[in-house]
Amino acid sequence: MKRKTRFLLAGLASVGGAVTGASLLHNRRSDRREHLYVTVFSEPGYRGLNERLTWSGGAREVVPLARVRLPRIGSIRLERLAYRFRPEVRLPNVYVLWQALTERPDRTDPEGGVASFIAMHQLAGVFSVGSWEPVRASEARSGVRLWSGRPSKAASGEAGDPGALPRHDVLADTPDLGSWSTRTRYLELGYHDGPRG
């Protein structure tokens, strides 16, 4: 076996081992982050003007209603994505790979390096490490919390009617927010006390 071929096979084996090990560690992490995409509509039933907000994990983000640029929020639609490692090996065309390894470069042939180019392209696609996938509502860990007052004050009970809850959690698509349509002053995007995956 040629030295060049041995190096290539050793490189493929080491990359495959690293990808598999990383996937096992990542999929077992309890702190796996979700990306949350929130579409807020000015009217119930997902109608009227709309604005899309994005939260990519980490600390909670508080968004004032004025920044959303809607007079009120009548309905909310949520979409969550999580990156899942799912290693997949797609073997390259053996004939093309062999041609690329054994051919001698000919500078006078304009198509002399085509086999090498195709082989490198196929080798780059050998390992697929995963993709962004939708998160089912039952496994979701993120959502939107609606606040009737500034979150820091409302949490300590200073804002709003003392008998009313100063916040409302939205963890699934909600076609009609009811009284929260006019009560909402702030939206908080992030992890909440909903289901944990």
Q: Domains in the chain, please, with CATH?
A: 3-90+126-191 (2.60.20.10)
Stretch (H or E) spanning 22: helix 3-28
pLDDT for position 158: 44
Distance CA 76, CA 17 (A): 43
Q: What are the mean pLDDT values of the chain's consecutive 10-residue runs (197 residues total)?
A: 58 61 51 84 96 91 92 95 77 73 70 71 71 86 91 53 71 94 93 55
Nearest residue to 169 (alpha-carbon basis) of 194, 140, 135? 194
The secondary structure of 88-118 as a DSSP string is EE-PPPHHHHHHHHHPPP-TT-TTTTHHHHH
User: What is the 8-class DSSP label of residue 35?
Assistant: E
